[in-house]
């Protein structure tokens, strides 16, 4: 009999990928995803620990779930298994078990391939099953094939974990050491995704460009080589990768941007700060000028490359002059889009122990100033497209009837009135208006373009 599974996901794209894979692992046990936790047989909170308030959010969600669990039991509808997964589970597993004993399973990001055993244990006994090991085996070797279709644009995890230990970051502690999946496994997953209707693959990793996996020829490949192999898959129209570290931006990957048409002209390359003093305190092991030079090389290879980044303001000890250096770097580089955060002291990380923590109002003011500059750059970038025609991969229906949503090569969201038959296709769209976070357009011609198969005509596009 089919059982209802509700998964709530916080945080990064890797967590979105992990949630989909958890559903795949649970499918043979009869669990089918549902959109609401009410009445579910299993609820998994897949959590993120990267910034503060994460665990408070989890505990307040657990309070709500406890009531739903009680109601389900009272009406005689069986037991709701409540689970906490992801990085909060990894970092605060024991506290969760102590504070919320009605939680049945608590498990870290590297253990979800063992979900069937955990479910069996949780069904047998009262109390929580806690599993926050870093197993010697790779979970990827034990995951089942993904369920039928992962959509037009799908995630594919190629790398996990991090050995870089930036002083502000919990990832090396919650996700564990850097690990690269073998090329053959990745290519097989990519082929299955494409056979299931995927046209764009987003390669994922905490440090995706640190990927150095076993190649098909037994030698170690870098990400550039992997991208070239993926580009040979018939029907795979677009390739993206995220998130990259400046130190791992190898020449071959930069060349791939020039040489592989399927590799999209967009790169998320976090720099965090523009002051060398702060970068050193963060243990980034690159300077602001190193970053500028990498950007120059990338733009020499791919002049239209759209850049995105991550920034942290208010790192311990950051002075006005340090912050001014961040604004200068942003002005010099010019971002199409970016994410910016206030520094958040994370328990167990070296920067959290620094005495020179900055007051919230200073962090607030700096964040506002940085976001004003980044938003202006993003708006200008989007406006530069008005009147131009861009190839859009339509990947979902819009909120309004008759509207489709998709992405430009530069990862801008584009909406246009279009026939649903164009879902999953790359269509030329003329941009009519630019908004801060999206473009509005109209389907330009009766043609759609495919980098793999050339131009083909469809009779009616809208
Ligand atoms: N590996 C990527 C890199 O090195 O840039 C980033 C991965 S991290 C999951 C995503 C972003 O969260 C970071 O780039 C950083 O800007 C932000 N972040 C991480 N720890 C943070 C903290 N303690 N406070 C504020 N932002 C943080
Ligand atoms: Fe965290 Fe990225 Fe630094 Fe690794 S490289 S510690 S994931 S910010």
Which ligand 1 atom sits closest to the C-alpha of 346? 23
- At residue 123, the 3 state secondary structure works out as helix
Q: Which residues lie closer than 8 Å to 98 by C-beta, 6 or more apart?
A: none
Q: How confident is the model at residue 276 (pLDDT cuts 50, 70, 90)?
A: very high
Given a contact cutoff of 8 angstroms between Cβ atoms, the answer to whether 84 and 57 are in contact is: no
Residue ranges lining ligand 1, Cβ < 6 Å: 12, 50-51, 168-169, 171, 206-207, 243, 245, 270, 272, 310, 312, 341, 343-344, 346
Do residues 187 and 230 make contact, with C-beta atoms less than 8 angstroms apart? yes
State the closest ligand 2 atom to the C-alpha of 165, by its place in the atom list counted from 1. Answer: 6
Q: Which ligand 1 atom sits closest to the C-alpha of 339?
A: 16
What is the rounded average pLDDT of the residues 264-281? Answer: 98
419 is an annotated ligand-binding site residue? no
- Among the bound ligands, the one closest to the CA of 245: 1
d(C-alpha 129, C-alpha 232), whole Å: 44
CA distances from 46 to 7, 14, 112, 316, 348 (A): 7, 11, 11, 29, 21
Ligand nearest to the CA of 207: 1
Task: Identify the pLDDT of residue 148.
Answer: 63
Centre of ligand 2 from the C-alpha of residue 171, in Å = 6
Q: Are strands 403-407 and 389-397 parallel, antiparallel or unpaired?
A: antiparallel
**Confidence band, pLDDT 50/70/90 cuts, at residue 234:** very high
Instruction: Give the whole-angstrom CA distance, residue 87 versus residue 47.
Output: 6
* From 108-117, 136-145, 421-430, the region with the lowest mean pLDDT: 136-145
Maximum pairwise Cα distance, the chain: 67
Classify 199 as helix, strand or coil. coil
Work out the average pLDDT over 360-386. 98
pLDDT at 447: 52
Question: How many residues make up the chain in this entry?
Answer: 462
Element (H, E) at 383: helix 360-383
Which of helix, strand or coil describes residue 174? helix
**What's the average model confidence in pLDDT over 376-392?**
97
Angstrom distance (rounded) from CA 13 to CA 9: 10
* Residue 51 pLDDT: 83
Band of pLDDT at residue 275, cut at 50, 70 and 90: very high
100-114, 137-151, 167-181, 295-309, range with the lowest pLDDT: 137-151
Residue 316 has pLDDT above 50, yes or no: yes
Question: What pLDDT is attached to residue 458?
Answer: 43
Please report, rounded to a whole number, the percentage of residues in the chain having pLDDT higher than 90: 85
Look-up: residue for tokens 């991208």? 227
Q: In this predicted model, which residue has the larger pLDDT, 143 or 449?
A: 143
Residue 459 pLDDT level (bands cut at 50, 70, 90): very low
Q: Is the pLDDT of residue 400 over 60?
A: yes
From 166, 170, 278, 291, give the residue whose CB has the most ligand 2 atoms within 8 Å, as the site to mutate: 166
- 3-class DSSP state of 301: helix
pLDDT attached to residue 212: 97
Mean pLDDT score, 336-342 = 97
34 annotated as belonging to a binding site for a ligand: no
Element (H, E) at 120: helix 115-124
3-9 and 31-33: which strand pairing? parallel
Tokens representing 301 are 């290879």
Q: Which of 236, 237, 240 is nearest to 155 (CA)?
A: 240
Pocket test for ligand 1, best of 178, 247, 270 (most atoms within 8 A of CB): 270
Residue with tokens 């037994």: 218
4 is in an annotated binding site: no
Q: Is the pLDDT of residue 124 over 80?
A: yes
User: Residue ranges of the alpha helices (H) in 164-275?
Assistant: 171-174, 183-195, 223-231, 251-259
Mean pLDDT value across residues 59-81: 93
Over range 395-421, report the average pLDDT: 95
The residues with which 312 forms a beta bridge, in sequence order, are: 341
Three-class secondary structure assignment of 401-434: CCEEEEECCCCCEEEEECCHHHCCCEEEEEEEEE
Please report the beta strands in 238-373, taking only residues with DSSP state E, as ranges in sequence order.
Answer: 238-242, 266-268, 306-313, 337-342
Structure-token match 């080589």, residue found: 225
Q: Is 166 annotated as a binding residue?
A: yes
Give strand pairing partners of 131. Answer: 107
Bigger pLDDT: 129 vs 298 = 298
Strands (E), 314-425: 337-342, 389-397, 403-407, 413-417
146 is in an annotated binding site: no
Q: Given a cut of 70, is residue 97 above it in pLDDT?
A: yes
Asked whether residue 162 is marked as a ligand-binding residue, the answer is: yes
Substitution candidate for ligand 2 out of 109, 169, 209, 248 with most atoms within 8 A of CB: 169
Tell me the pLDDT of the chain averaged across its residues.
93
Asked which of 28-42, 46-60, 201-215 is least confident by mean pLDDT, the reply is 46-60
Predicted confidence at residue 145, as pLDDT, reads 79
User: Is residue 169 in contact with ligand 2, taking CB distance under 6 Å?
Assistant: yes
Q: What's the CA gap between 81 and 84, in Å, rounded? A: 10
User: Are 291 and 249 contacting, i.e. CB atoms less than 8 angstroms apart?
Assistant: no
Helices (H) and strands (E) in the chain, counts: 12, 22
Residue 349 has pLDDT above 60, yes or no: yes
Which tokens in the block code for residue 421?
């038959």
Minimum mean pLDDT range among 132-136, 286-290, 446-450, 458-462: 458-462
């Amino acid at each position: 009999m089919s059982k209802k599974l509700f998964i709530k996901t916080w945080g990064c794209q890797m967590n979105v990928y992990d949630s989909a894979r958890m559903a795949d692992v649970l499918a043979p046990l009869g669990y089918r995803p549902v959109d609401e936790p009410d009445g579910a047989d299993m609820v998994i909170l897949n959590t993120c620990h990267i910034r503060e308030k994460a665990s408070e959010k989890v505990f307040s969600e657990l309070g709500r779930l406890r009531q739903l669990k009680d109601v389900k039991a009272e009406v005689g509808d069986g037991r709701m298994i409540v689970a906490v997964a992801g990085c909060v589970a990894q970092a605060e597993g024991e506290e969760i078990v102590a504070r919320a004993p009605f939680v049945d399973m608590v498990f870290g990001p590297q253990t979800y391939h063992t979900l069937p055993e955990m479910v069996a244990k949780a069904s047998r006994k009262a109390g929580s099953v806690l599993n926050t090991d870093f197993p010697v085996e790779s979970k990827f070797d034990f995951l089942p094939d993904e369920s039928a279709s992962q959509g037009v644009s799908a995630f594919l995890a190629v790398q996990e974990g991090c050995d870089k230990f930036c002083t502000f970051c919990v990832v090396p502690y919650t996700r564990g050491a850097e690990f690269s999946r073998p090329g053959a496994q990745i290519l097989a997953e990519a082929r299955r995704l494409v056979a299931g209707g995927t046209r764009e693959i987003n390669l994922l990793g905490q440090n995706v460009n640190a990927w150095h996996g076993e190649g098909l020829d037994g030698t170690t490949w870098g990400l550039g080589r992997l991208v070239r192999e993926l580009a040979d898959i018939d029907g795979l129209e677009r390739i993206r990768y995220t998130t990259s570290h400046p130190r791992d931006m190898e020449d071959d990957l930069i060349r791939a941007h020039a040489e592989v048409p399927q590799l999209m002209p967009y790169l998320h390359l976090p720099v965090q700060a523009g002051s060398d003093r702060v970068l050193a305190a963060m243990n980034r092991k690159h300077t602001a000028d190193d970053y500028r030079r990498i950007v120059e090389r990338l733009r020499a290879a791919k002049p239209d490359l759209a850049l995105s980044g991550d920034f942290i303001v208010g790192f311990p000890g950051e002075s006005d002059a340090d912050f001014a250096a961040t604004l200068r770097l942003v002005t010099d580089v010019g971002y199409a889009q970016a994410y910016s955060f206030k520094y958040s002291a994370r328990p167990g990380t070296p920067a959290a122990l620094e005495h020179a923590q900055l007051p919230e109002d200073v962090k607030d003011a700096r964040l506002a100033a940085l976001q004003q500059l980044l938003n202006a750059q993003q708006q200008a970038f989007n406006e530069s497209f008005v009147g131009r025609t861009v190839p859009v991969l339509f990947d979902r229906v819009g909120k309004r009837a008759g509207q489709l949503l998709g992405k430009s090569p530069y990862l801008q969201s584009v909406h246009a009135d279009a026939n649903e038959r164009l879902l999953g296709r790359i269509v030329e769209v003329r941009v009519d208006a630019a908004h801060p976070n999206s473009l509005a357009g109209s389907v330009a011609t009766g043609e759609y373009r495919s980098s793999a198969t050339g131009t083909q005509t469809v009779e009616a596009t809208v």
